[in-house]
Structure 1
Amino acid sequence: MYINTMPIILASASPRRKLLLEQVGIVPKVIPSPVEEEGFLKDIDNPSRIVESLARAKAQWVIDRTTLPRVAVLAADTVVTLEGKLLGKPADAGEARAMLSSLSGSVHQVWTGVCVAVKSRKLEMRTWSCCTEVEFRKISGEEIDAYVLTGEPFDKAGGYGIQGMASGFVRTVRGSYTNVVGLPLAETIQTLIELEVIRPGTTQSLTTQSSL
């Protein structure tokens, strides 16, 4: 549905973000940024600032190191908040269980910060964040233990993946679903179009045009 007009680098190792882009025809090269999150997690009262700062730092790290004369870098970072408490990725099974227990029967917020950096004749950066409210039904200790044993919680903010086996925990989603997966896709596509990084079309339409 969309085609790149320039190379796109995804500054994230998240397979979910890559898959979301590929589902609409956007083909990125993956170069994960090694920016550490710990130094950005101090401003607990402003999660939007945390995720935006992280996304911008990750994009900047990659754009500073690419030798391509014309390229776009897309970076994102996601955190979960519950009653003012920040939930990142669980470090172990005990922390995963504690996170999921706290989310059980509650409404929490998922925040994703996104930065698009475009290097052409000049450097242009756009950064924003998106918040989605997610309500979990009451989940039992047995369900939590079984889910933790799958290994799915450990690379995900809040200790769960809405697109995976935890989908059965979710009662309602208010806002962008893809934001909870890891990338607010509608807003990202709009920004990439505005910055002329992508345009509507298919690889078949490119082949047709080149043969005329």
Structure 2
Amino acid sequence: MKTVIDYEKYGELTAFSQVVLLSNSPRRRDLLSFLNPEIAGVEVDERAIEDHYMAVYAKEDFLTRAAKTCCEISKAKSDKLLEDGKLYISADTIVLSDDKIFNKPKDLSEAETMLRSYFGKSHYVVTSVCLRTTTYLDVFYAVARLDFVDYYDGLDEAVQSYVRDKRPLDKSGAYGIQELDPRFVKEIHGNLYTVIGLPVAEVSARLFAPKTP
């Protein structure tokens, strides 16, 4: 399974003196701490963008369709007044299961339904990233596949405890991988940090690794 896919790119990345993370996510802020980013929260109508681009890409397979839509959400977050000398990073994470997009649950009941639905099968997590300056754009997405164990009654208390204690309402798909009971996940295919919310190694390589001729 290819786990990193380019979506759109133009221009050449030149020197920057400041990084701006266009996200209030504490997880992304921690993952990018090595860049000491300035934090600037942005609001976009994610559901309107999702509805539009899921229609635009209707002929694609569901995973590709949703992933490209996710990229457009990341791009939209960076559509602000850009300043010279600053690199802007925006990202979006979606969970895909049974050819549906699982966004943040509206309540704890929906969160529990989402979480229980993963057992005994595979689902995907996609994180899109937009790297942008006044003269440069690089948008890509990373994919990870998670295989959950078959459900058994001994996991019931762990499921209920997670929903009760771990605040799943602010998380796409109703969970944060770093908080899950380790008994839930049988295998992860792809980068763990894609699931957490930012494929950091890929971001760093695109910013700092020497370019091959």
Q: Which residue of 2 aligns with 1:14?
A: 25
8 Å contact kept, 2:84–2:133:
no
TM-score by length of 1: 0.80
Matched, 1:27 2:36: yes
8 Å contact kept, 1:52–1:114:
yes
8 Å contact kept, 1:161–1:167:
no
Q: Which residue of 1 aligns with 2:6?
A: none
Displacement of 1:154 in angstroms is 1.4
Displacement of 1:138 in angstroms is 3.3
Which residue of 139, 147, 150 corresponds with 1:138? 150
Large movers: runs of 4+ above 6 Å:
none
Alignment partners' CA distance in 2, 1:47 and 1:167: 28
Alignment partners' CA distance in 1, 2:27 and 2:110: 22
Displacement of 1:85 in angstroms is 1.0
Alignment partners' CA distance in 2, 1:52 and 1:147: 30
Q: Which residue of 2 aligns with 1:154?
A: 169
Q: Which residue of 2 aligns with 1:50?
A: 69
After superposition, give the CA deviation of every residue in 1:138-162 in whole Å (9 maximum; x if it has no partner).
Answer: 3443322211101431111111111
Matched, 1:94 2:112: no
8 Å contact kept, 1:40–1:54:
yes
Q: Which residue of 2 aligns with 1:82?
A: 97
Q: How many residues align?
A: 184
Displacement of 1:186 in angstroms is 1.5
Q: Which residue of 2 aligns with 1:202?
A: none
Q: In structure 1, what residue type is equivalent to 2:162?
A: Y
TM-score by length of 2: 0.80
Q: In structure 1, what residue type is equivalent to 2:127?
A: T
The more displaced of 41-50 and 147-156 is 41-50
- Quote the sequence identity (%): 29
Displacement of 1:34 in angstroms is 0.5
Which residue of 24, 31, 38 corresponds with 2:47? 38
After superposition, give the CA deviation of every residue in 1:170-190 in whole Å (9 maximum; x if it has no partner).
Answer: 211101110000001111111
Q: Secondary structure at the match of 1:180?
A: helix
Q: Which residue of 2 aligns with 1:204?
A: none
Alignment partners' CA distance in 1, 2:160 and 2:107: 13
Q: In structure 1, what residue type is equivalent to 2:91?
A: A
Displacement of 1:41 in angstroms is 2.1
After superposition, give the CA deviation of every residue in 1:53-80 in whole Å (9 maximum; x if it has no partner).
Answer: 000000123xx1x5x4310100000001
Q: Secondary structure at the match of 1:38?
A: helix
